[in-house]
């Protein structure tokens, strides 16, 4: 949550008689955003763990399965 957003939330206190639904909406948006980021990071972690498992022993760079994997063209449409 940015400083601006925190300030705009606190600014609501200038008019204490208004409904606070905007506060909930803003927090809901942030919660959803964090959920998305966590999901993306989880996917990235899974992919990196999979990649890491391809090279257990130190070998020459030209034989490293991680680098071979990375060099492969990625599928057009994920999957």
Question: Of 11-19, 33-41, 43-51, 63-71, which part binds Zn ion (CB under 5 A)?
Answer: 63-71
Q: How far apart are the C-alpha atoms of 69 and 58, rounded to whole Å?
A: 16
Is residue 51 part of the contact set for Zn ion (CB under 5 A)?
no
Minimum Å gap between C-beta 56 and Zn ion is 8
Q: CB-side exposure of 53: number of CA atoms within 13 Å?
A: 6
Which listed residue (39, 55, 73, 79) binds Zn ion by CB under 5 A?
Answer: 55
Size of the site for Zn ion (CB under 5 A): 3
Minimum Å gap between C-beta 57 and Zn ion is 8
For the purposes of burial, counting CB atoms within 10 Å of the CB of 26, is it exposed (0-12), middle (13-18) or buried (19 or more)? middle
Minimum Å gap between C-beta 46 and Zn ion is 19
Q: How far apart are the C-alpha atoms of 23 and 26, rounded to whole Å?
A: 5
């Amino acid at each position: 949550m940015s400083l601006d957003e925190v300030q705009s939330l606190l600014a609501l206190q200038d008019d204490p008689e208004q409904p606070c639904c905007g506060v909930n909406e803003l927090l809901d948006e942030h919660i959803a955003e964090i959920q998305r980021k966590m999901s993306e990071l989880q996917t990235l972690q899974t992919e990196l763990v999979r990649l890491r498992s391809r090279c257990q022993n130190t070998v020459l760079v030209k034989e490293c399965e991680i680098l071979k994997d990375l060099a492969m063209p990625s599928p057009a449409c994920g999957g």
